[in-house]
């Protein structure tokens, strides 16, 4: 099921994106136990928040919900899908270095090395399990969102020095924006 079919919607929750350094971003998420209408409504609102903030993906922990669920690009351009209790079952040896941003780190893009292709398994909003091989931006996004479910932020993929420099620049930029 592609989530773009649900736009535009009115949201009833006051969902906000959690910004770094909030502790929820470094906690490992719990498995989803039930796929029901309440969860589907949450996913639709999460999707709306992602679109409103020009995101390519978003994980439940980024709104303070400690469950193993995220939204990532679907095969067809402009569409998105939900991954529930996702797993990466196989990775390519080849890695690609490319810039990555994150909704929890507004205005920060850093070069991150990720596997070029991955094999994944996840449940959709109907509770059906899907296994597929992802390449390119879909593989990168899936890995990024999986990190969120495991309490890892993209800066954790950098060396200590590069992370320190990136955080210093980001904090300086954020201070200038709030003046």
Do 162 and 111 touch, CB atoms closer than 8 A?
Answer: no
Question: In this predicted structure, what is the pLDDT of residue 92?
Answer: 98
Walking along the chain (179 residues) 10 residues at a time, the average pLDDT comes out as 52 82 96 97 96 97 98 92 98 98 95 98 97 97 99 96 94 77
Angle, CA of 55, 152 and 58, to the nearest 5°: 20
Cβ(104)–Cβ(21) below 8 Å: no
DSSP state of 103: T
What local confidence, expressed as pLDDT, does residue 78 receive? Answer: 86
C-alpha radius of gyration, the chain, whole number: 16
Of 38, 45, 100, 145, which one is the catalytic site residue?
A: 145
pLDDT for position 1 = 53
Q: Where are the domains of the chain?
A: 3-178
Q: Is 145 among the catalytic positions?
A: yes
Instruction: State the distance between the two ends of the chain, measured CA to CA, in whole angstroms.
Output: 43
CATH topology of domain 3-178: Peptide Deformylase (3.90.45)
């Amino acid at each position: 099921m592609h989530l773009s079919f649900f736009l535009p919607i009115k949201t009833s929750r006051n969902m906000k994106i959690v910004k770094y350094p909030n502790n929820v971003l470094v906690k490992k998420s719990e498995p989803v136990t039930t796929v029901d209408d309440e969860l589907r409504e949450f996913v639709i609102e999460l999707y709306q928040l992602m679109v409103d903030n020009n995101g390519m993906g978003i994980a439940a922990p980024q709104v303070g919900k400690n469950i193993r669920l995220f939204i990532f690009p679907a095969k067809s351009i402009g569409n998105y899908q939900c991954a529930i209790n996702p797993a990466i079952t196989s990775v390519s040896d080849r890695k690609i270095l490319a810039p990555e941003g994150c909704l929890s780190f507004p205005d920060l893009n850093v070069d991150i090395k990720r596997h070029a292709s991955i094999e994944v398994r996840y449940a959709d909003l109907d509770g059906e399990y899907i296994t597929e091989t992802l390449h390119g931006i879909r593989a990168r996004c899936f890995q990024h969102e999986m990190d969120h479910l495991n309490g890892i932020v993209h800066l954790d993929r950098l060396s200590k020095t590069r992370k320190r420099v990136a955080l210093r620049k980001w904090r300086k930029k954020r201070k200038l924006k709030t003046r």
